[in-house]
Structure formats: structure tokens, C-alpha cells
Amino acid sequence: MVHIAPKHLAHALALLSFLSSANATRNSDLVRVLGPQGVNLWKLRAETTKASKFNLEGTENAQSVLFKTDFRPRWYWVNDRHYNASVGGPVIVIDGGETSGEDRLPFLDTGIAEILAKATGGVGVVLEHRYYGASIPVDNFTTDSLRWLDNEQSAADSANFMANVKFDGIEEDLTAPNTPWIYYGGSYAGARAAHMRILYPELVYGAIASSAVTHAALSNWEYMEVIRLAADPKCSSHLENSIKTIDQILDHRIFVGRLKALFGLKDLEHDEDFVALLESPLGSWQSKVWDPTVGDKTFDKFCEALNGHANVAIAELPFNHTSRMVTVAEGFRVDFAIVNYAKWIKQHIVSECPSDKTVEQAFPPGKHFTVPSLPNVTAVNALGDFDLAADRLAFIDGAVDPWRPDTPHSDYAKDREDTILRPFKLIPGAVHHWDEYGLENILEEPHEILKIHGEMIGFVQDWLKDWKAPSKV
């Protein structure tokens, strides 16, 4: 049986079925059995007692009622077209990460979940992350409502799913640890995949962490440096010199107003907001994909616009050459590349911003929760940082991924040996979690992608050869 069309794929997950009498369960038992999720249930009960925000009673069945206390149903999608009952798994689960689970469905249909499930006779699953897609646990996104969005509790969500899910149409018990689960994620979800292997080794038999940002930092200039070195040299030079000139103007203050007006931002007060906006086109680099049908061309179009000039000879002159200068206001002249930069920002970003909309403060202090002034990077890095490693934990990265400096393939990290038990692979010319994408006919994939997919099939199959079902007590 195959479940691919979204309207047939979505299942409201009733986690924790073994606690069908949740309303009668003592708080101490919830904490003991469920860890952070137990604390979460206790908090929600307290909120319900005070404000009757959540209806814990009603006509729903026990599982639905229980899961509603534990933040309403999470959604998941299943591909069981290759499931072989005689093999009994594995389950290849894709962590949905910071987006709707529906955005990950291509990876279930033709991407890495399909590729690995087909090679192993397993089941592919996309599991949506709390607070995204249809898995919204709250009625609004106030500061107080976001207090349950954290790494520890979202990891516990995944663990509970693995330990308790029952797939429609499959009679066999495919829960962990009775079935080998291979946990896959890309980017933030890649770090989650690595963390799941560390935090729940009894449930996660193996994990593949693609573009996994296991290192958390307060600043990340290296992200831009990867782009600067990998982009088209002419575009990179124009961008670098434009930013250098803009920085000088901001430092000397004389033409700041005229500069911002050039970009369509004459009323923007804070320089920090202005320069942050100028970074916007660079963020599209990470959306470049080897498959042209899904890849984002924004960065290439930006570079084409930045480099553009009607006179090729002038365009080849050094930056700030007299012949390249354009008068944009009385006494204010800049290189044509800066003018092109400003046109791009105005057309593609400023034009999309309503003139009557402003934000005084995002997420002000709430009654129960206040957003910290700085993120707790120590809590993330304590799980392994650049050195995070375990048997049956694979790290796969792209050589020109701007997030690579925050992965175990960072130049700051120690080099590692690439082995079957601990795969450590770098895809030449690749950007962000390129291995997650796939074609219906895998043989039509580019050489480097076909190669990495073949290697992934190989080490997962080898991992599964060593799997043994837990002994029954």
C-alpha cells in the first residue's frame, strides 16, 4: 500500500497510548516516565485548571484526549510502497525541522526516504516538528505561547512517536526499539538527527545528519565567507567592494541619508536594520540545488543584476573607476554595482514591505516566559559540538554549504576517518543537504549525487546486518 497524496497521507498522531488514563496519572509519574514531556503535561494541566484553555474532557477517544493535553496532534506522512513484512522494517524517518511537514514530502516520494526505503524494504516517514505546519500546540504565537518550543521537548516528541506509533495498514509492530529506526535530518533537523542518536540511543538505531549544525555560535561571519569564496568571482568582487564602500559611508555619516534613499529606505532609522537588509540576497545561496526543477535561482539572478552594465568595457574596469561612477544625488556618486544593488533591494524586498507596518518590539516579556537576551549556545554544544560522534551516526555535508563552518566538517573541527560504522562524507560542489533530494530514476542523478546515494544505501544496509531485536523480558 502506498500513501503519497497529502490528503491520504496525513494522520493525527496519538502519542503515548500506553497512558490512556492520562488525566488520572500522577504528575510525579508523568515526569518519571516522560521526562521533559511529563513536565510539559504538568504545565498544561496547571494552565487548564487556571484558565480552562484546553478541553481535556469531551467525546474524543482516550488517545486523542491524551494527545490534546500533550499539545494537539502532530502530523506525519507515510510511504510504505516498499515495505516488506518479512524483513520487518526498517523505518526511515525524516525530521520535518523548522517548516511544515508537507514541505518535506518530495523527500518521501523521490528523495532520501524513498531511496533508502526502497533499498531496505522499509517504511518512509516524515514527522512534523511541534509549532510547524498543522502541529501547532497553541492558539497564538505570543511570548508565553512559545515557551514550550525548545530542543529538549521536541526531541522527546520524536522519541515518543518512535516508541508508540501504529501505522495504518501495517499489522507488524514497527515501534522502536523492536524495529530499527534510521533517523534522518537536514540542517537544523540534521543536528536533531545527531542529537537523537546521542540522547535516545535505545530508540534510534542509526542516524544520518546532513548539513548538521551541531555547533551553535553567537556570531557566524563564516557563513558569508563560504559564499564569498564560492560565488562567481566578478559577483563576489562587486559585492565585497560594494559593502566596503557602504560601510565607509555609514562610518563617515555625511551621505547616509542619500545612501538609504538610494535603496528605497530613506526613513529607516537604524543602521543595523539597513545592513541586515543588505544581507538578504546572500541567504538565497543555501537554496541552490542540483536539481533545476526545485533549486532556487535567486542568487544567480542577483549576481546577474549586480554585474550588469550596458557597456562591457566599462564593466571590466576596476571598482570605483571614474567611468563606472554614477551620480545619484547632488554631490553623491557611487559605483554602478551599488546602484544595481539598490535596484535589486528595492524591487525584490522593499517593494514587498507595507509602508504602514512597523514592529516596535518582537516577543516582549510575557507573564510566564521571557525570551533570553542571548541564546544558550552551551546547551547545544554540550551535546558534542564539532566532536559529536557515535557508531551508526553519519555526517554528510556540502563543500560550499555556508553552514559547513558549523558542522563537524568545519575547518575548526578535527578531521575524521570515513568508515562504514561512522560515515563522514563531503560532497564536492554541494550546498545545503543536497543528498536529501533525489530523482524518480536514481540513475539520472548527477555523478556526485548518485555516488553519495549509493554510499548511503551501502552503509545503511551494513548497519542493518548487525541489528538484533531486543530480548523479551
Exposed/middle/buried for residue 11 (C-beta within 10 Å: 0-12, 13-18, 19+): middle
Residue tagged active-site, from 135, 154, 158, 187 = 187
Helices (H), 144-270: 151-164, 188-199, 222-230, 233-252, 256-262
* Sequence-separated (6 or more) residues with CB below 8 Å from residue 273: none
- Asked if 52 is an active-site residue, the reply is no
**Alpha carbon distances (Å) from 444 to 105, 438, 439:** 20, 9, 7
Kindly report the backbone phi and psi dihedral angles of residue 406, in degrees, each rounded to the nearest multiple of 5, phi listed first: -110, 15
Identify whether 201 is preceded by a cis peptide bond (ω within 30 of 0).
no
The one-letter amino acid code at 208 reads I
- Asked if 415 is an active-site residue, the reply is no
The one-letter amino acid code at 149 reads L
Strand ranges of the sheet holding 11-13, from the earlier edge strand across to the other edge: 11-13, 74-79, 123-127, 91-95, 181-186, 206-210, 393-398, 424-427
Q: Scanning the structure block, which residue is given the C-alpha cell 545612501?
A: 259
Q: Angle formed by the axes of helices 188-199 and 151-164, to 10°? A: 70
**Alpha carbons 404 and 397: distance in angstroms, whole number:** 7
Residue tagged active-site, from 157, 335, 401, 406 = 401
Residues designated catalytic: 187, 401
